Structure 1
Amino acid sequence: MVNVSIARRYARALLDVATEAGRADAVSEQLSSFSSSIGQSRELADVLFNPAFTRDQRTGVVEALLKAIGPVEPVLANSLRLLVDRNRLGYLPDIARLYRDMVDAQAGRVRGHVTSAVPLSTDTLQSLAGNLKQLTQRNVVLESRVDPSVLGGIAAQVGSTLYDGTLRTQLEQLRRELKQR
């Protein structure tokens, strides 16, 4: 099991340096991109996380990835090199997640998920984000998911709060009420 306190320390240090440079959001996007690219390739993850590979091999792979991604924030590149150097690259997915959460908290944002039966238009998502902003008093960044099993309506989860207006939930509630009678 990964020790989250170690990942939190690296995320906090990266946030402090990136904030000082005024590049916290850019580092967040690039760190998420870097972490997801590793997560999508089993072979790449094996080279970077497997202790059977030498530090020099892992450093070479990280340097090649940094060049492939394009211009990377120097703060992020140095942090990734430090993770390789200290054999902490296995914490990268947790560092990326915690860093994103810290940047969002610092910016007064909260992330949410919207689930609907059909894809939602950009205008609908923006309108929904505005309504959720009024409810939560924070800027809401929404990710959209499509799940045909909701039948109709939408369910929005912001933080730990679920706003469920799906037809599936309403039918289930009606079924329970009819059973009680």
Structure 2
Amino acid sequence: MDIGIVSMRYAKALIDYAYNSGKEDIMYREFSTLAHSLETYSELREALLNPILSTEDKFTLICTAACGEQPASEEFKRSIALIQKNRREGMLQYISLSFQRLYRQRKHIGTAKLTTAIPVSQEVEERIRQTASSLLHARMELQTEVNPAIEGGFIFDINDFRLDASIATQIKKVKQQFIDKNRRIV
């Protein structure tokens, strides 16, 4: 079966289980942390695919990646046990991301990412979050990133739209205009 289909089926079952047990917010935090850990640490993904590691070691590794030193919720543990029972550890990142997407759809939460050349203050972050929230009539999750390569300005991604007001992009556009004009002259 296709990875996307399988991961979405698991995510739908897990989100229904989370809502029925009333622990959807806790499981969302755990799956979000797990997805971030799997994205950030390639060694974690490799360890989950390693046939030498026992199921118990993988279970402990997953719970630690999702919750750190705090104990994982019972619902999360049961979910991971089901995934392991069916040998779907390799799809855990996709399942986690699908779970996040379904949770955000049910709770009407939008996602936004702000990329700037220098760090922005907490006040500015909150103002941007509130403005986007009022425009979309949804609660917003704002992720900020500092990338000095954009040289100034900002890049704002909201859901599937991008507003690129970075200096680097403006310079590229001006450069491209000069190149286009010179091609016509020659």
**TM-score, normalised by the number of residues in structure 1:** 0.83
**2 CA distance for matches of 1:53 and 1:165?**
49
- Work out whether residues 14 and 76 of structure 1, in 8 Å CA contact, stay in contact via their aligned partners in 2: no
Map 1:80-99 onto structure 2 (within 5 A): 80-99=80-99
Q: How much identity, in percent, do the aligned residues show?
A: 20
Alignment-mate amino acid for residue 170 of structure 1: Q
Shift of 1:90: 0.8
Q: Counterpart in 2 of 1:66?
A: 63
Matched residue of 2:156: which SS? strand
Shift of 1:175: 4.3
**2 CA distance for matches of 1:24 and 1:125?**
26
Q: Counterpart in 2 of 1:158?
A: 158
Map 1:121-160 onto structure 2 (within 5 A): 121-160=121-160
Matched residue of 2:145: which SS? strand
Q: What 5-or-longer segments of structure 1 have no aligned partner?
A: none
Shift of 1:179: 5.8
Stretch of structure 1 that moved more, 86-95 or 134-143: 134-143
**1 CA distance for matches of 2:77 and 2:174?**
55
Q: What 5-or-longer segments of structure 2 have no aligned partner?
A: 182-186
- Structure 1 vs Structure 2 CA RMSD: 2.5
Q: Deviations over 1:60-95 (max 9, x none)?
A: 431465376422121110010111111111110001
**2 CA distance for matches of 1:37 and 1:58?**
19
